[in-house]
Structure 1
Amino acid sequence: MSDRTYAILGTGALGGFYGARLQKAGLDVHFLLKSDYEQVNKYGLVVESKDGDFTLPKVHAYNDVEKMPRCDVVVVALKTTQNHLLPKMLPSVVKDDGVVLVLQNGLGVEEEVAEIVGNVTVSGGLCFLCSNKVGLGHIHHLDYGQIVLSEYTPNYQPAGITEMMQQIANDFESAEISIELAEDLLLARWKKLVWNIPYNGLSVILNARTDELMAYSYTRQLVEQLMYEVAAGAKSYGRIISDRFIQTMLDYTVKMKPYRPSMKIDYDEHRPLEVEAIFGKPLQKAQAKGVNLVQISCLYHQLKFLDARGKEGGC
């Protein structure tokens, strides 16, 4: 059994699920919570899962990052809308020879973290997970769960498969979490956007679940067009996303249980939307290479309007 310690910053649908699975497997896990703190501190975490329900009656729960021990692996599972908090969080909780594992959506998030933690190893994880937080300390895992793990290097040069990546992958696999190791984090990030951009954006704008978007030829065609625009953005950085991968993402979503993507849930709950990380940064990166992603730009401006109106209390 690994003796690595884990900190989970953001114990929601994603961080709570993966952290709970790691603790269930016997690893030492420490959870940072906000609104759920009192509940989880007293009663632990409850996970309903397609792979089997379980409860952790006692967990290491904290409502202040300064009270957390320094850990070997710090998992950033906050929404990117909260990344302005990371400069105060990360230095106190990650060991000098530790790893920050960024389990967030979007592009360029590891760059931001690397600027905060200096020489600490930074890795990115792309989560293919259908999971919702349905109550205080209560997570409902609907489907999937795989993580694509890759190490960050300056300018996103491919890092290959490092020993540290393999060690972390072994910990997650001991918790029955499927892990794929990727040599090129930037390619992995663009590939995740193939799914995130159409389904997160259209679910908000059209008020639709994934199954509804795939049920009509008009919206399915729009999803596919957006996926090919993401591939064009990736190509501007020398990363090739195949037609086969796009078809796999379409097939994957058809087979998925009806699902509200994370941005749709945030919109319905009147929370800030991750528009910049998922849409703004890819647009900016592609434009820097002279590539205009017209349909993604259209989604971006609509979502910025809806996000701003939501902040003003108009929705």
Structure 2
Amino acid sequence: MSTRSYAILGTGAIGGFYGAKLQQLGLDVHFLLNSDYEQVCRQGLLIESPTGSFTLFPVQAYHDPQKMPACDVVIIALKTTQNHLLPQLLPPVLKEDGVVIVLQNGLGIEPQVAEIVNSKRIIGGMCFICSNKVGKGHIRHLDYGMITIGEYQENYQPIKITPRIQKIAEDFNHAGIPTELSENLLLARWKKLVWNIPYNGLSVVLNAKTDELMNSPDSRILVEEIMREVVNAAKGCDCIIPEQFIQKMLNHTEKMTPYLTSMKLDYDRKRPLEIEAIIGNPLRMATEKGVDLPHIAMLYRQLKFLDFKNRSPDS
């Protein structure tokens, strides 16, 4: 049994699910919570899942990072719109020789974390999962669940698989979380964006779930056109994504349980949208390389307008 301790920053649909799976395995897991703190202390975390529902209790729950023990592995599962809180949240919970897994959507996130901790202690992570928080301490996992992790180096230079990342992957796999290791974190992030940019963006702009986007011929064409722009953007950044990967993502989404994306849920709840991490940063990175992305540029401006209007006082 692994003796690594884990801290979860952001006990929501992602952090709550994966952290609960790790603790269910018997690992030492500590959860930072906000509005759910009292509920989880009293009744634990309820995980609904087609792979097996369970209630995690007791939960090592905290409302203050200063009261958490320093851990070997810290998983950042906050929305990127909350990353301005990391300078206060991260240092108290990370051991001197600990590592950070940035399990967030988008691109250009690891350099922000590297301003807080040494870049050599950072691992990037992407999850392909349909999971929502449906109530306080209540997480509903609908489909999938695999994660990809890779070591971060400055400027996203590729790096060989290290023993430490292999050991962390063993913990995840033993907990029933299928885990892939990547030697090229930048490529892995671009591949995730092939799905994230069209479905997150269009779900808000077109007010649609994933199945609705797939079932309409016009929106499906738009999804594919945006996917091809993402592939071209990645190529401009020296990350080659095979053409067949687009069809793979389309096939996965067709089989997926109908799903409201995280960006659409945030929009419906009038929360800030992860526009910059998921769309703005990739758009800027590709544009600097001379790649023209007309569909993505329009999607970015539409989302900025809708987000501003949605959260204005008179909305």
Fold agreement, TM-score > 0.5: yes
- 2:144 partner letter: Y
What residue is the counterpart of 1:62 in the other structure?
62
Mapped pair 1:52 → 2:79 = no
Q: Is the 8 A contact 2:233 2:286 kept in 1?
A: yes
* SS across alignment from 1:29: strand
CA gap 1:78/1:121 in 2 versus in 1, 3 angstroms: same
Give TM-score scaled by structure 1 length.
Answer: 0.99
Contact 1:96 1:120 in 2 (8 A): no
Give yes or no for the alignment of 1:83 onto 2:108.
no
Which SS does the other structure have where 1:21 is aligned? helix
Q: How is 1:144-293 mapped onto 2 (pairs within 5 angstroms)?
A: 144-293=144-293
In structure 2, the partner of 1:20 is 20
Give 1:139's aligned residue: 139
Aligned 8 A contact 1:100 1:120 in 2: no
Is 1:94 the counterpart of 2:77? The answer is no
Q: Distance in 2 between matches of 1:286 and 1:263?
A: 22
Letter of the structure 2 residue corresponding to residue 42 of structure 1: R
Count matched residues: 315
Deviation string, structure 1 residues 249-281 (Cα, Å, up to 9, x no partner): 000000001000100000011110000001110
Instruction: Give the whole-Å Cα distance in 1 for the aligned partners of 2:202 and 2:126.
Output: 20
1:314 Cα shift?
A: 4.5
SS at match of 2:180: strand
Shift in Å, 1:292:
2.0
Asked if the contact 2:199/2:210 (under 8 Å) is kept, the reply is yes
Structure 2 segments unaligned to the other structure (5+ residues): none
- Seq. identity, %: 63
Report if aligned partners of 1:283, 1:292 keep a CA contact under 8 Å in 2: no
SS of the aligned residue for 2:116 comes to helix
CA contact (8 A) 1:125 1:147 kept: yes
Q: For residues 226-252 of structure 1, give each alpha carbon's deviation from its aligned partner in whole angstroms, at most 9, with x where no partner exists.
A: 000001110011111111111000000
Residue type of the partner of 1:116? I
The one-letter amino acid paired with 2:231 is A
- Structure 2 CA distance, aligned partners of 1:276 and 1:256? 26
Query: SS at the partner of 1:116?
Result: coil
Contact in 1 for aligned 2:119/2:154 (Cα 8 Å): no
Residues 293 and 122 of structure 1: is their aligned pair in 2 closer, same or farther, counting only changes over 3 Å?
same
Deviations 1:169-203 (A, max 9, x none): 00001101000111100000000000000000000
Offset, 1:120: 5.2
1:125 lines up with 2:113 in the alignment: no
SS in 2 for 1:141: strand
Alignment of 1:19-38 (within 5 A): 19-38=19-38
Letter of the structure 2 residue corresponding to residue 88 of structure 1: Q
CA–CA distance in 2 between the matches of 1:135 and 1:203?
22
Distance change >3 Å, CA 314–CA 256, structure 1 → 2: farther
Structure 1 stretches lacking a partner, 5+ long: none
Distance (whole Å) between structure 2 residues aligned to residue 86 and residue 215 of structure 1: 40
Deviation at 1:118, TM superposition (A): 2.0
Whole-angstrom distance in 2 between the partners of 1:24 and 1:227:
37
TM-score (norm 2): 0.99
Q: Hey, which bits of structure 1, 4+ residues long, moved more than 6 A?
A: none
Once the 2 structures are TM-superposed, how far is the Cα of residue 133 of structure 1 from its aligned partner? 0.6
2:200 corresponds to which letter in structure 1? N
Given residue 273 of structure 2, which amino acid in structure 1 is its aligned partner?
A: L
The 8 Å contact of residues 120 and 152 in structure 2, kept in 1 or not, is answered as no
Q: Distance in 2 between matches of 1:313 and 1:297?
A: 27
